[in-house]
Chain A
Amino acid sequence: MTTTEGRRSKRTEILEARPVNLDGFVEEWPEKGLVAMESDFDPTPSVRVEDGRIVELDGRARADFDFMDTFIADHALDVETAEEVNAIPSIEIARMLVDPRATRDEVIAVGRGLTPAKILDVVKLMNVVEIMMAMQKMRARRTPANQAHSTSAKDNPIQVAADAAEGALRGFAELETTLGVVRYAPLVAIALQVGGQVGRGGVLTQCALEEATELELGMRGITAYAETISVYGTESVFVDGDDTPWSKTFLAGAYASRGIKMRFTSGTGSEVQMGNAEGRSMLYLEIRCILMAKGAGVQGLQNGSISCIGVPGAVPGGIRAVAAENLIASWMDLECASGNDQSFSHSSMRRVSRALPQLLPGTDFVCSGYSGVPNADNMFAGSNFDVEDYDDWNTIQRDLQVDGGLRHVREPEILQVREKAARALQAVFAELDLPPITDAEVEAAVYAHGSGDYPDRDVLEDLKGAQAVMDRGVTGLDLVKALERTGFHDVAENLLTVLRQRVSGDLLQTSAILTDDFVPLSAINDANDYGGPGSGYRLEGERWEQLKKLRHVTSAENPETEVS
């Protein structure tokens, strides 16, 4: 059948206009590492041990090790079991991962000695459903949780505080911020810290910055944890990132020495995006990152491609590889903050499907950055989900009976915490002699959606104030005092409790968060005991009742009304 030149199918036109066709897709280029996980250029698994040292790793002799090989061989792998476990057929290990009757401890014991190429070999045998099944068992903490971003396109501290309070109320266990203008950091970090303690007690906050600056803010108690401590899968890219496995390991110790929780960050696609994947697949290189993190002794890892998600998202099987990398982190007994934090598609359908491999089985943090502000205000260049998706998210939880860490909250409660957060920050700024927050700004914060709904601040004055915070050595304790003096006793007490946790170090253990009652909950006292149907974490009881609530639910008792 011939078509008339120029005449198009109406259906084609409609399909061309679909959001998904605005996304970027590329052909695989395995030689350059532009391939998800199936590449002929990845090494064949091998390991040889001599005199208690690994002398060959995935086809490379020790004399030819780059610093990643050296670090992995000397710190990550269990030398005692390496030769034995690497000899187990990959199909057997893959089945152990999926089979609920093989316990988490058993599977971890095998995993401890596996080389990067062997780990890849195992997960290549698993489809995405099998990966999810394994994830259910392998995550470290039994109870899933969630993390949000709270940022502002104008680096407006009041917005950050108000949205932090709402996010905390909705259920996020961790909150993250970053800046458009780096010099604004002290004020915005303070806003996050204060706002985060208003919604509910026990939320942990971080401010993503350059490594040494981030550590400094943490040391002062203005942030509670750190996450954007990046590691990379090739030596050359790691060096471009101005670090090595040794500097990162030292940094990890530095954080722990100040009682500050931290995790590394890695993700498929970073090496190819920075120009040098050394011909290896994205997942192979990510596995190296995971093992490097393991060797360093950090408690956890943020991964799931993260800011590079557009890269695996552009190649076939990329989202399967992303699901696999989360699984592998958990298999290596690390806390996993599993991505879903970066915009990667114009299509709502694709945004959800990308997140199902983490949402359905549950991970330590289903999102490592759900945007708790409208995406236009998201200074991480946009998240996979934002505030406009709250009701959809809560509905999907209710539809599938899964706990994604969030719940519906009614408007009056939300407005109340937003106002309190803005007032508390206003009081703190006044006490610390920072540029004032007006009543008009507080009022705006209560009802605002995005940064355009707030009066503009004098940015240059704020930047001077931010510098003053650093010069004067303002600490978290000063924030506690300021809150207490101005009558915000409960917020002050919440913040003091979070700071006090540093003394105990309980938040340093794997997957540690604080409950609403400020009790540390981690992989130690909330160990994942999933062993098949009827076991592990189940959405039931009081929590399930909470998650049944949505914005509009018709009452069964009186169908002409809605459940209040």
Chain B
Amino acid sequence: MTTAPDLGPGDYPLSVNRQDLLRTPTGKPLSALTMDAVVAGEITAEDLRISAETLQLQAALAESVHRRQLAQNFRRAAELTAVPDAEVLAMYNALRPRASSREALISIAENLESKYHATVCGALVREAAEVYERRDLLAREED
């Protein structure tokens, strides 16, 4: 993984000032996403998503203006780009009150960490498991 370049407020918006740094998850530059390409069938829904690398760039921009929690959100998001839609939705639903046992949550955390290298997300889920246990928000037997 390449290290993020030193970005500052002057680089924003990236779509105007730093197109050189931007790629779709499918490896295309922004300039490839033209109407002609769409009509020719060369563009798919996957081309209109954000890549993990771009989210790290946005995280660097957020850090440069002292928005550390926003940057952390972007880092979690960068990790989640690797997780398919249905699985993201399933994980979200599993984090809702009394939706999961402790084991189920830990298993999600392990899955995030080992399969998707999503350590920041994994830590969030582990933290949730701990808090839910203390606050009686894990799934109950009869649910």
Contacts and interface: CB of A to CB of B under 8 A. Distances in A.
Contact of B92 (A254, A295, A496): A254
Interface in A474-507: 475-477, 480-481, 484-485, 489, 492-493, 496, 499-506
Contact of B135 (A67, A249, A257, A520): A67
Interface of A: 66-67, 70-71, 74-76, 105, 108, 211-212, 215-216, 219-221, 235, 239, 242-244, 246-247, 249-259, 294-299, 333, 475-477, 480-481, 484-485, 489, 492-493, 496, 499-506, 508-510, 519-520, 522-525, 527
Nearest to B22: A504
Contact of B67 (A221, A259, A510): A510
A185 B55 CA distance: 29
A220 B45 CA distance: 8
B85 to A, nearest CB: 5
Interface residues of B, number: 61
Interface in B55-103: 55, 57-58, 61-62, 65-67, 69-74, 76-81, 83, 85, 88-89, 91-93, 95-97
Interface of B: 9, 12-16, 22, 24, 30, 33, 35, 38-39, 43-45, 47-51, 54-55, 57-58, 61-62, 65-67, 69-74, 76-81, 83, 85, 88-89, 91-93, 95-97, 121, 124-125, 127-128, 131-132, 135, 137
B35 A496 contact: yes
Nearest to A262: B73
Contacts of A254: 77, 80, 88-89, 92
Contact of A249 (B44, B97, B124, B132): B124
Contacts of A502: 48-50
A221 to B, nearest CB: 6
A510 B128 contact: no
B15 A501 contact: yes
A255 B77 CA distance: 8
A484 B50 contact: no
Contact of B15 (A70, A71, A504): A504
Given A244-B132, A519-B13, A524-B12, A475 B45 contact: yes
B74 to A, nearest CB: 6
A323 B72 CA distance: 29
A298 B124 contact: no
Given A505-B14, A525-B12, A258 B49 contact: yes
A477 to B, nearest CB: 5
Contact of B69 (A108, A295, A484): A295
A480 B57 CA distance: 28
